[in-house]
Structure 1
């Protein structure tokens, strides 16, 4: 089992939490995992890129044309990080209009739950539903319960399930 994943967004969108959830799933399943972040987090709103390598890898960085999956929490990062994807790589994007990749207005769904930051877990739910990520529903639910502060667990799980329940288009 090997998978290379990029998570791209801006500070404040939950890129790092989403990265931690995916990495925790790998740890829970006994699969080697490496992560890395490149970000301007000193200033909220800066671009954030996380890379996740699940399986037997020597380096956490993902080279151009090597990512199997891209989870973009901010559509404007598409031109910046798309080159990291393989030609046949899957791309899931938080976007409110049609375009490249599989798109879902995760921000709107998250705002409906009362917290726009939850768009990260909506996108993860969609990735699981589309079977483009190495893990399943129970894996993600367990990791969310392990990592989310107790007072936010139910809201986090609700966001994840909203992505799971999103109809395929």
Structure 2
């Protein structure tokens, strides 16, 4: 499996990739991962690649990602060429304009969302702001999106496996809130 997670710095994409890798390694799978960080600061583009099996590189070739989890619509569009023909994308519809988009005044959210929904791949559009509001914290967007992906049965990782990865990776004081994020995401009706 090839998983690509993309967003902007500060959204928790790297932790999300570590949770996926942890869950896969816990079941004994061979996992390779890498982050490509355009600007190593809050607001810059971030992509995390996770691959299982006997692969030669941790970076996903274009057109081979099974799952794309996009924390931001413009980043989803930017990384869409990596998604395979029968891949699935989980896309947060709430914009967080990457720093690079502030260089030009052409960030058109309705056009981005329309472009994404017109793609042949399965697109699961998620209002991340609303989902996080239900949980009570904007800081759990990453876990919410992972929960949606597990709930949609496209990760090959169960909610229980993600919950175990959370318990291994997070300090106790953050665990309950993140478990609540997974549970809330699992209740989301999928379109």
TM range (shorter): over 0.9
The CA deviation string for residues 53-82 of structure 1, in whole angstroms up to 9 with x for no partner, is 022222100111010110001111122100
Match of 2:27 in 1: 29
The CA deviation string for residues 20-73 of structure 1, in whole angstroms up to 9 with x for no partner, is 000000110000000000013532111100000022222100111010110001
Measure how far apart 1:167 and its partner are.
Answer: 1.1
Equivalences, count: 167
Gaps of 5+ in 2: 95-109, 118-122
Q: How many Å separate the matches in 2 of 1:52 and 1:138?
A: 20
Measure how far apart 1:90 and its partner are.
Answer: 0.6
Q: How many Å separate the matches in 2 of 1:16 and 1:79?
A: 19
Larger Rg: 2
Out of 104, 125, 133, the position equivalent to 1:103 is 125
- Cα RMSD of the aligned pairs, angstroms, is 1.5
Measure how far apart 1:9 and its partner are.
Answer: 0.4
Measure how far apart 1:115 and its partner are.
Answer: 2.3
Gaps of 5+ in 1: none
Task: Give the 3-state SS of the residue equivalent to 2:136 in structure 1.
Answer: coil
Q: Does 1:167 align with 2:185?
A: no
Match of 2:47 in 1: 49
Task: Give the 3-state SS of the residue equivalent to 1:90 in structure 2.
Answer: strand
Match of 1:61 in 2: 59
